[in-house]
């Protein structure tokens, strides 16, 4: 008899990895009965023809967001003290004191942080969140769905969504095994593990070490190194268009060489538009010296600002905008959902650009798969002033300590050097690809093409 697995989407971030890749097809080939347990506004049945059980109740307990915020800050305080490292406070977002309601929430959160900033305190606050979510009506709602459909295992596609807590508790209370996939390369040190499941799937040995380091309540036998499906499409050559076809489809100039500028969200890089402007100025200067260059600007899918518009308009002879093929289906950042067609676009942007430039993005890995270099901007902009976050702190974060050497990316630390660095990369005199591939293996694991298969083998062993 086929084992029934619920693939659980508490929000839309997992769609790209687990709905639009070959993940489902591989699981079905291995004999699983797969149903998507869907808490998102995106209908997998209507759009993709997948079996789904929709979760229509999106309630969380009113106190859960406050306790979750306190839990995150308390964990970061524990890490700061335990590892004697001041990087952890830099992960904290400022409190909101706008209006009486936000002020009271912030003051209560600070009180909780004061009470629970110890390892035992963090365990207590996690238990408190679980107690709250068991009282939440969504708990009984999800429990009834599970009792009706009787899955053998729940695979949760991200560990960081408060929307998943009550659903996973309902599963655990019914004795259904639960597995969480750790979603992103920087999530573990940032205290973004919202859920506690029976097992965890992680990208690499590095991430497994981190889970065991930061979460003493997790035992080694609970963590499985599987890789991530995130990069699998880069190995699917059926997505590849010829240079002529790609340039024709997106109205690019076949005579130009294009550099990709990969945009960032406003939190990570609040002055990102000025780095795009710097690249445009460098390209303009090089073109005046005989080059024929253009820029492909691919924005961050969850950036809804107009901050780049003026730079793009001023440089429209150089910059071509190729927006990611994502669809906004709600007003939250995690309700901007990728379309399957975006895999093909990203594959070909990587394949047909000379290299990529950005501020600290994981696109370094997307491009290194295609043997393309990456420039990381790491200098202050003159527009930086009090209240604006300096991008320099990004490179001090824990996940950047995984670099095998500083040559794993090409760092531009001075605006005046940018033109020369661009020229050196174009001329083949400078590259991070060799060290970048070592870094990719450290972060993504040794078998990046086998992630979906490895996850299903792990599930097979667990059920």
Domains of the chain with bracketed CATH: 4-60+136-227+448-462 (3.40.50.2000), 64-130 (no CATH), 233-444 (3.40.50.2000)
Q: Token pair of 260, please? A: 């990709």
Q: Please, which residues bridge with residue 261 across strands?
A: 297, 357
In DSSP terms, which residues pair with 54 in a beta bridge? 38
**What does the pLDDT read at residue 206?**
97
Return the H-helix or E-strand segment holding 446: none
pLDDT of amino acid 334: 54
Q: Which two tokens stand for residue 53?
A: 């059980």
- Report d(CA 322, CA 161) in Å as an integer: 30
More confident residue, 326 or 264: 264
Burial status of residue 144 (CB atoms within 10 A of its CB: 0-12, 13-18, 19 or more): exposed
- What's the token pair of residue 455? 């996850």
Give bridge partners of residue 377 from the DSSP assignment.
Answer: 412
> 423 and 293 in contact (C-beta within 8 Å)?
no
Segment among 275-279, 314-318, 324-328 with least mean pLDDT: 324-328
Q: Are 383 and 271 in contact (CB under 8 A)?
A: yes
Q: What mean pLDDT, rounded, does the chain reach?
A: 95
Closest CA to 377 of 416, 338, 424, 411: 411
Provide mean pLDDT across the span 180-191: 95
Give the pLDDT score at 375.
98
Question: Stretch 26-48: mean pLDDT, rounded?
Answer: 94
> Tens digits of per-residue pLDDT, 197-211?
999 999 999 999 999
- Residues 23, 13: Cα–Cα separation, whole Å: 15
Least confident interval from 75-79, 168-172, 388-392? 388-392
For residue range 340-390, list pLDDT tens digits in order.
789 999 999 999 999 999 999 999 999 999 999 999 999 999 888 877 888
Measure the CA–CA gap between 32 and 144, rounded to whole angstroms: 22
Q: What is the pTM of this model?
A: 0.94
Across the strands, what pairs with 259? 295
Identify which has the larger pLDDT, 340 or 391.
Answer: 391
Q: How far apart are CA 427 and CA 272, in angstroms?
A: 26
Residues 6+ away with beta carbon under 8 Å from 83: none
| pLDDT on residue 303 | 87
Contacts of 296 (CB under 8 A, 6+ apart): 252, 258, 259, 260, 261, 320, 322, 349, 353
Burial of 283-303, coded b for 16+ CB within 10 Å and e otherwise, reads beebeeeeeebbbbbbbbbbb
Banded pLDDT at 320 (limits 50, 70, 90): very high
pLDDT at 331 over 70: no
pLDDT single digits (tens) 221-238: 999 999 999 999 999 999
Q: How confident is the model at residue 32 (pLDDT cuts 50, 70, 90)?
A: very high
């Amino acid at each position: 008899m086929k084992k029934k697995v619920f693939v659980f989407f508490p929000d839309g971030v997992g769609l790209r990895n687990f709905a639009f890749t070959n993940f489902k097809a591989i699981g079905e080939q291995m004999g699983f009965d797969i149903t998507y347990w869907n808490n998102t506004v995106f209908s997998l049945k209507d759009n993709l023809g997948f079996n789904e059980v929709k979760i229509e109740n999106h309630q969380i307990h009113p106190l859960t967001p406050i306790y979750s915020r306190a839990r995150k800050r308390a964990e970061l305080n524990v890490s700061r003290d335990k590892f004697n490292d001041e990087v952890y406070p830099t992960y904290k977002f400022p409190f909101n004191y706008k209006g009486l309601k936000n002020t009271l929430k912030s003051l209560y959160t600070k009180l909780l942080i004061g009470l629970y900033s110890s390892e035992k305190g963090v365990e207590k606050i996690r238990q408190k969140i679980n107690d709250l979510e068991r009282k939440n009506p969504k708990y009984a709602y999800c429990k009834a769905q599970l009792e009706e459909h009787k899955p053998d295992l729940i695979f949760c596609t991200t560990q960081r969504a408060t929307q998943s807590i009550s659903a996973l508790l309902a599963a655990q209370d019914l004795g259904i095994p639960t597995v969480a996939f750790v979603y992103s390369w920087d999530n573990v040190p940032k205290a973004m593990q919202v859920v506690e499941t029976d097992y965890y799937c992680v990208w690499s040995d590095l991430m497994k070490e981190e889970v065991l380091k930061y979460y003493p309540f997790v035992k080694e036998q609970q963590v499985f190194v599987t890789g991530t499906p995130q990069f699998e499409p880069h190995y699917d050559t059926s997505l590849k268009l010829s240079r002529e076809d790609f340039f024709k489809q997106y109205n690019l100039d076949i005579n130009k060489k294009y550099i990709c500028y990969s945009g960032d969200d406003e939190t990570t890089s609040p002055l990102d538009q000025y780095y795009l402007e710097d690249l445009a100025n460098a390209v303009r200067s090089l073109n005046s010296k005989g080059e024929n260059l253009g820029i492909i600007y691919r924005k961050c899918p969850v950036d809804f600002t107009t901050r780049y518009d003026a730079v793009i308009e001023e440089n429209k002879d150089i910059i071509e905008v190729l927006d990611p093929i994502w669809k906004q289906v709600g007003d939250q950042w995690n309700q901007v959902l990728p379309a399957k067609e975006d895999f093909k676009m990203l594959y070909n942007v990587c394949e047909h650009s000379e290299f990529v430039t950005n501020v600290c993005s994981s696109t370094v890995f997307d491009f290194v798969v295609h043997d393309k270099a990456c420039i990381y901007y790491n200098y202050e902009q003159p527009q930086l002033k009090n209240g604006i976050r300096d991008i320099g702190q990004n490179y001090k974060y824990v996940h950047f300590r995984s670099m095998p050497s500083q040559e794993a990316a090409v760092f531009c630390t001075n605006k005046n050097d940018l033109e020369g660095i661009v020229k050196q990369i174009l001329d083949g005199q400078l590259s991070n690809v060799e060290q970048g591939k070592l870094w990719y293996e450290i972060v993504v694991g040794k078998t990046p093409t086998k992630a979906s298969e490895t996850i299903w083998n792990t599930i097979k062993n667990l059920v």
